[in-house]
Structure 1
Amino acid sequence: MYHFIINPKSSSGKGIRYWRMVQQELDKREIPYTAAFTRYEKHATEIAKEICSKFTGIKNIIIVGGDGTVNEAINGITNYKEVLLGYIPSGSSNDLARSLKISRNPVKALESILTPIRFQYLDHGRMEFPDSNIAPRKFACSSGIGYDANVCYEVSTSPLKKSLTVLVQANLYILQLRLNSCLQ
């Protein structure tokens, strides 16, 4: 059984388009699966937790989304020894997929999950916030503070979340830093 966590809004709707292609392939091959769609921030975390608690034995959790959806899902996995994580990238940057050499073609990515030639262990880090009410967070791709964290935040909250937005937000932040330091 394959358990899919789909972010339908990843990369302006690419997630749902890719899911339809994947679903068609699964149905054609009569492969059993469950599918859950994220509806809000950190929903993938909740879905992954539910899959881990509801099903016994090895769980095949497949993410259709971007780096953020993968990040949310790994924060919901409770026992990594019982989870095989697959990834069908449909985000805007797909940095994790690029580093793991996962095809950007959803059908090819699915094929590599269904008939794996190799498995890779996925290292992840864990950030803790002592003396804070913020819960610890795991990350698989990258983590940052300061400048890059601010740019990521601005991009993720921007209604124009596109690759050009990253460049624009980064330049605006640099300009803001320069202005603030000049005014002080």
Structure 2
Amino acid sequence: MTPKQSLERHLLINPYAGNGKGKSFAGLLSSSPVVKGLPVVVPSTLEYSQKIANELNRDRVHLLVAGGDGTFNTILNQVYPPYRFTVSFLPCGSGNDLIRFLGISRNPIDALHASLNGSSEMLLDLWEAKIGWEDGSVTRQKFINTAGIGFDAYVGTLKQQKRFLTGLAVYTVSLLQALIKYDPINFELESNGNETISGEAMFITSGNGASSGGGFKLTPKAQINDGLVDVCIVSYLSRFKVLRIFPKAITGTHIGIKEVKYLQTDRYKIKLSKPSYIHLDGETTGKKVSEVELYLSPHKLKILL
């Protein structure tokens, strides 16, 4: 029996994703024959989204989620594991980095059609972060694609304030704005209990996937199911050098320069001498962290392509 024949399908659309892309996608579906007979839910609140997602966390359920990396991250953290449903991702976000990495069409209608006819299943690694916040509180959160501390998280904080740009454009504008007033982070990173790296950095990005920030390949060697997270540490750079290296980060060739350290691990712990910003799958809170421990989750997510 193929997945197409045996799965109970549901489409969950985040209407707020991508500065309105999710809402536009929901409108397009009203006249599309692709969704005939497909239950469609457009939750108006996070609480309702959480309720629906947990109710659908059952074997033989195919949950199609329309949104961006932040939407996928929200579902991941809303649902109580283990994850029993099979998921497909539909691009309605501003960056769509996970979509890009998985080779899914960036046209949501085409991606929906492909998902409904998909037959290839894959298990994705998930990562958990134990976060020590500046105020002394501690939380645990999961991510599926990327996490970042420092400059890229600050850029993400600025990016979320811009409602009329998407993709690489919004990241580029936010990056230029961040360059004006960003300070470096002083860190100590202990990898898997045996390797320690310390110093001054512009940012530290961890990638389960290769792409972040709307198309930057900051962790170009990453594989989403190899049990390892790729860590890119970029030393503090002058504004001029940031702009010179900027194109290399789009192609992933930045890892060849001397100011970049690159490692792969299944666990690390970072301590900061001065709190800084963090993002998980591009989602920021505006709060700063003092310490982060990141490790491979025992849970996996099954996706259908």
Fold conserved (TM > 0.5)? yes
* Aligned partner of 1:99 among 93, 96, 101: 101
Aligned partner of 1:37 in structure 2 is 43
CA shift, 1:128, in A, is: 0.8
Gaps of 5+ in 2: 1-7, 184-305
Write 1 or 2 for the structure with the bigger share of helix. Answer: 1
Provide closer, same or farther for how the CA distance between residues 75 and 125 of structure 1 changes in structure 2, counting only shifts above 3 A: same
SS in 2 for 1:37: coil
Give the letter aligned to residue 155 of structure 1: K
Gaps of 5+ in 1: 179-184
Matches within 5 A, 1:52-91: 52-53=54-55, 56-91=58-93
Q: Could you report, residue by residue, the CA deviation over 1:147-184 in whole angstroms, capped at 9, with x for unpaired residues?
A: 11111111113344434332222122222137xxxxxx
Q: May I ask how many residue pairs the two structures share in their alignment?
A: 172
Give the letter aligned to residue 6 of structure 1: I
Aligned partner of 1:182 in structure 2 is none
Provide closer, same or farther for how the CA distance between residues 62 and 169 of structure 1 changes in structure 2, counting only shifts above 3 A: same
4+ residue runs of structure 1 moved beyond 4 angstroms? none
Question: Scaled by the length of structure 2, what TM-score is found?
Answer: 0.50
Provide closer, same or farther for how the CA distance between residues 56 and 27 of structure 1 changes in structure 2, counting only shifts above 3 A: same
Matches within 5 A, 1:92-131: 92-130=94-132
SS in 2 for 1:52: helix
> In the alignment, is residue 18 of structure 1 matched against residue 25 of structure 2?
yes
Aligned partner of 1:149 in structure 2 is 153
Aligned partner of 2:206 in structure 1 is none
Write 1 or 2 for the structure with the bigger share of strand. Answer: 2
Provide closer, same or farther for how the CA distance between residues 157 and 134 of structure 1 changes in structure 2, counting only shifts above 3 A: farther
Larger Rg: 2
**Separation (CA, whole Å) in 1 of partners of 2:48 and 2:181:** 37
Q: Could you report, residue by residue, the CA deviation over 1:68-111 in whole angstroms, capped at 9, with x for unpaired residues?
A: 11111111222344111111101121100010111112232112
Provide closer, same or farther for how the CA distance between residues 60 and 171 of structure 1 changes in structure 2, counting only shifts above 3 A: same
Question: Scaled by the length of structure 1, what TM-score is found?
Answer: 0.79
Give the letter aligned to residue 165 of structure 1: V
Give the letter aligned to residue 42 of structure 2: A
CA shift, 1:26, in A, is: 4.5
Q: Could you report, residue by residue, the CA deviation over 1:97-150 in whole angstroms, capped at 9, with x for unpaired residues?
A: 010111112232112222212112122211112584343111111100111111
**Separation (CA, whole Å) in 2 of partners of 1:66 and 1:119:** 20
**Separation (CA, whole Å) in 2 of partners of 1:38 and 1:103:** 26
SS in 2 for 1:144: strand
Provide closer, same or farther for how the CA distance between residues 54 and 91 of structure 1 changes in structure 2, counting only shifts above 3 A: closer
**Separation (CA, whole Å) in 1 of partners of 2:60 and 2:149:** 35
RMSD, aligned CA: 2.5
Residues 58 and 85 in structure 2, CA contact (< 8 A), matched pair in contact too: no
SS in 1 for 2:65: strand
